[in-house]
Amino acid sequence: MVRFTVLASGSKGNSAVVSGGHTRILVDAGLSCRELFRRMKLAGEDPAALDAIVVTHEHQDHVNGLAVTARKLGIPVYFTESTHRAWMRWLAPRRQMTYAQWLEQCRRQAAERRAETDAPEEDAECEDPGCEVQTVQPAEPAPPASPKEDPTWLPAVEYFEAGRPFAIGDIAVSPFTIPHDAADPVGFVFASEGVRMAFATDLGYMAPNVKAQLKGVDLLLLEANHDLEMLRDGPYPWSVKQRVLSRVGHLSNDAAADFLASGYDGQAAYVILAHLSENNNLPELARVAAERALANRASLLANRLLLARQHEPLSPISF
């Protein structure tokens, strides 16, 4: 059976579970491990059954519980190489090392991963390491990394590239580049048992390659981040408003509706509006904009429209 469960969506954390055949994948781990497990159980998903975690990009709302969750379950994490690198910089900003030292650490970690057969236990909640940026400068040799002392240690790391589909067990994964201000951000189309599910949030705009990826999907999870007027009149500083509105920021209700009205093929049985801002949007505004867009195309009324939530999981969608 193919199943899609949104555990959380919004600027305070994003995560979903995709199941197909005998495989279960966690898409992003933006909540603490404990909260992810709590929500999985609420939604009837078994954390111990997860086979892998795939990561869209390194922003905190997508990776907050990543290391703890991967360690606890002893499962691999799939990143692009640039995202992995950016995540490590974010997690260990105070460790200063040269590029050569960093490469040496990666080699050592890879060797350790090969040598390790079982994953270490880690009970601590994920700590916010802060986000101060420090320049890389020659430093003393880095201390030997071990799973306990290295916050970037993972049981296994697998690299993928946008535009190159790969498989995790019974699920085919097609990562595609999205316009967003991260190192190498991606959206995904997951396919299993003939069902295709698209995951597209954190989009500055509906780029042509993204539109192309969202054709012929049975489930479409699409960002409807903000209402333009609420953002304009809202509490964010001007610089942040500019960032959200930019071509590498987030998709507005209107932009999502424009796509549903004119760029979308109407194939999905489910359209899920996602990554709604709690400060600059209201669920009803997002819903009305999308409903109006779909209503203008009578053929699309069979699409079920759902809104992903920040503070509770959606009921699993089964195919």
Residues in 61-120 at the binding interface with Zn ion, rule: CB under 5 A: 61
Shortest reach from residue 225's CB to Zn ion, in Å: 9
Residue with tokens 């790391």: 157
Shortest reach from residue 276's CB to Zn ion, in Å: 11
Select 150 or 223, whichever has its Cβ closest to Zn ion. 223
Select 184 or 218, whichever has its Cβ closest to Zn ion. 184
Span of 44-52, 202-210, 222-230, 233-241 interacting with Zn ion by CB under 5 A: 202-210
The residue nearest Zn ion at its CB is 59
Binding map of Zn ion across residues 7-46, x = CB under 5 A, - = no contact? ----------------------------------------
Q: Is 223 in the site for Zn ion (CB under 5 A)?
A: no
Select 24 or 59, whichever has its Cβ closest to Zn ion. 59
Q: Is 202 in the site for Zn ion (CB under 5 A)?
A: yes
Span of 170-178, 200-208, 212-220, 307-315 interacting with Zn ion by CB under 5 A: 200-208
Span of 87-95, 199-207, 208-216, 292-300 interacting with Zn ion by CB under 5 A: 199-207
Residues in 116-175 at the binding interface with Zn ion, rule: CB under 5 A: none
What sign has the CA pseudo-torsion 51, 56, 60, 62?
A: negative
Select 184 or 202, whichever has its Cβ closest to Zn ion. 202
Shortest reach from residue 81's CB to Zn ion, in Å: 18
How far apart are the C-alpha atoms of 226 and 203, rounded to whole Å? 12
Residues in 48-67 at the binding interface with Zn ion, rule: CB under 5 A: 59, 61
Shortest reach from residue 206's CB to Zn ion, in Å: 16
Residues contacting residue 80 through CB under 8 Å, at least 6 positions apart: 159, 160, 161, 162, 175, 183, 184, 186
Select 3 or 250, whichever has its Cβ closest to Zn ion. 250
Residues lying near Zn ion in the complex (CB under 5 A)? 59, 61, 202
